[in-house]
Amino acid sequence: MNEMQRLVLPAALPANRPPRLANAWLAARLAWRQLRAERARLWTAIAGVMFACVLVFMQLGFRSALFDSATALPQAMHGELFLVNPMTTAMFKPEQFPRVRAFQTLADPDVAQAVPIYLSFATWRNPETGVRRTIELIGFDTETGAVAFPGLDNVIEALKRPDTIAFDRKSRPEFGNVPRLLAEGGPFEVQIADRRLQLVGLIEIGPSFGADGNAVMSETNFRRIISQRRASNTDLVALRLRSGADIPAVQARLRQLLPRDVAVVTYPELVAWERNYWENATPIGFIFMFGSLMGLVVGMVIVYQILFSDIASHIPEYATLKAMGYAHSYLRRAVMAAALLLAVLGFIPGILTSVGLYHVVAQATFLPLEMDLHRGVTVFGMIFAMCAGAGLLAVRKLRDANPADMF
Amino acid sequence: MTSPVWIRGLNYAYGEGELRRPVLRDVALEIHAGEIVLLTGPSGSGKTTLLTLVGALRAMQEGECQVLGQQLAGATEDQRVLLRRRIGFIFQQHNLLGFLTAQQNVAMSLELDPATTERERLERAGAMLAAVGLGDRLDATPARLSGGQRQRVAVARALAGNPGLILADEPTAALDRVSGQEVVHLLRDLARSRGVPILLVTHDPRILDIADRIIEMEDGRILPGSPLD
């Protein structure tokens, strides 16, 4: 009992409530100690959160890759304003309009250059196997700098020669391993539609959901291949303005000037135009959102199950804590802390796995899948909300912990 | 009126309407500072309900009940939670948290006091465990302790917060004779040395010797002849 005398304790615990922050920390520590004690359960929960995390990352990744690749062509454009047929829904199926509209814009003192761009599809014969496949042809005056495909600068001179093309190195492999053939034997002959052309170099665009491969050529060579088309029609016009020009003002003036058969759009509007088609006019955007949602629901059910069984197997202990003077809200905080801990613990391996999978999928499909900060933060928010939702469902079970039933 | 426990005209019933079943009828009781009171009686006599009412684990229905200066008639849930922090509970089952060590379990009863630091809490918990003879088992989890040792940890937990009242329900029911004796004698010595009153519900005739007063209940009433104060 000597030991007892040395214990100096306050006569009674102060009746004021503990500060919220310290309280939350202690509740979180209790939650962590409880999670840690049941290793198998903890790993199941982490795997569940990770699964949801990877699923959502893949869905959002595909969705964004789709939109990125679909807008690769408009994104490569160098121009401040563009003319498009208002009936065009997407770049891979453009509506034509009179080329003369391009020259009309030159009446505006701020328009320095008007570059018609011709888009069409033709069949390409694989130089290795001879199998035919549809390729998108992009024709324009290569010297104007209106289009900025990487690698274009190296082939500008060569493209001036008759019957020459540059090939998109990111085209799907079904088009043949052109980069290797080019590296081995230099420029070689290929067949597009019924015409034989010289393949003189490589540029970079990337496949989209609308086109599996691309070839770039001069305006004249484009007309040689697509001979049945009226030369006075074009598909897209890039306008380059004098430096310092007020883009919205020029846009407004051109709208006044030109007939209603062309729309005058800015660069961001052009990209949004293309993106809008894939997002709203196709079910693709919805499908990916639905997939993400399913992942979150499955993850939520798993986390809920884990939290629920953790509470259910500790009912007498929780009731004892309540008898000791712990408020119901303290236990609720502990459960929520457990849920949010699981969100963090599952998210970390989830994002790492997703980065790896992005790499693998990008190599297999040539779609531009990349992790970025914005998507990471968005998915973390979703996972956090998912776990919080599971926690809110599970805390209802805490009502069963009634200290009056303990005696 | 300054007694730790002061009860007058306490009635309590379970159920509603036709199913209403009274369990406590006109109970009056007073427990003085430092007193050890045993509550016995057949099961269903209402002694456990009385204990939960005194412990502020249940809302009152009728009558007056003052515990440690807090009037429980009409008390809010928050007031009851605050009062519970000043009462030490010992249950039939130890109800220790399996994922915490003995020391951490005892420290749980101190975490409610915001004025303490983690180090103080662990030190006090360690000293408390030493006082119940478990100074060398601080880091053992409940699974690695015997039944008697677990109940001793529960005693240390109930006493660590320096409560003004200790409520115990059949603390020896799950223990063999020797460890049961050990636990209640320990409880009595610790309470005596601090002047803390104990209200203890028991069926166990082997521990009646620790009581200052024995109160018998039957059918929701305290039997005539039981000393009421």
Yes or no: say if B36 and B191 are a contact pair by the CB < 8 Å rule.
yes
Measure the CA–CA gap between A149 and A142, rounded to whole angstroms: 11
> Is a pLDDT exceeding 80 seen at residue A74?
yes
pLDDT of residue A7: 41
pLDDT (tens digit per residue) in B90-111: 988 888 998 999 999 999 988 8
Chain B, nearest residue to A10 by Cα: B162
- B111 and A CB contact within 8 Å: yes
pLDDT at A62: 87
Residue A401 near residue A332 (C-beta atoms within 8 A)? no
pLDDT digits (tens, 9 = 90+) for B111-135: 887 778 888 899 999 998 998 889 8
pLDDT tens-digit readout, B34-60? 899 999 988 888 888 999 999 999 889
Task: Supply the pLDDT for residue B229.
Answer: 64
Taking CA–CA distances from B171, the nearest residue in chain A reads A407
Q: Which of B143, B213, B159, B150 is nearest to B182 (CA)?
A: B150
State the average pLDDT for chain B: 88
In order of A120, A131, A133, A158, A289, the CA distances from A193 in angstroms are 11, 13, 10, 21, 39
Report the pLDDT value the prediction gives residue A23, as an integer from 0 to 100.
72
Asked if the Cβ–Cβ distance from B52 to A404 is below 8 Å, we say: yes
User: Is 0.90 topped by the overall pTM?
Assistant: no
Does A133 have pLDDT greater than 50? yes
Using CB atoms and an 8 Å cut-off, which of residues 5-64 of chain B contact chain A? 48, 51-52, 55, 57-58
Answer whether residue B2 shows pLDDT above 80: no
A13 pLDDT exceeds 60?
A: no
Q: What's the pLDDT score for residue B193? A: 86
Band (pLDDT 50/70/90 cuts) for residue B224 is: confident
- pLDDT band at residue A21 under the 50/70/90 scheme: low
Phi, psi (degrees; rounded to nearest 5) at A33: -65, -35
Using pLDDT thresholds of 50, 70 and 90, give the confidence band for residue A248: very high
Average pLDDT over residues A4-29: 57
Average pLDDT value for residue range A185-211: 88
Query: Does residue A5 have a pLDDT over 70?
Result: no
Q: Name the phi and psi angles at A140, rounded to 5.
A: -165, 170
Contact state of B48 with A323 under an 8 Å Cβ cutoff: no
Between residues A19 and B39, the one the model is more confident about = B39
B80 contact residues in A (CB cutoff 8 A): none
Digit-coded pLDDT (tens) for A207-225? 777 788 999 999 999 999 9
CA A320/CA B157 separation, integer angstroms: 11
Q: How confident is the model at residue A20 (pLDDT cuts 50, 70, 90)?
A: low
Q: Which residues of A touch B83 (CB under 8 A)?
A: 325
Provide the sign of the torsion angle of the four alpha carbons A227, A229, A233, A236, taken in this order.
Answer: negative
pLDDT for B228 equals 64
- Asked if residue A156 has pLDDT above 50, the reply is yes
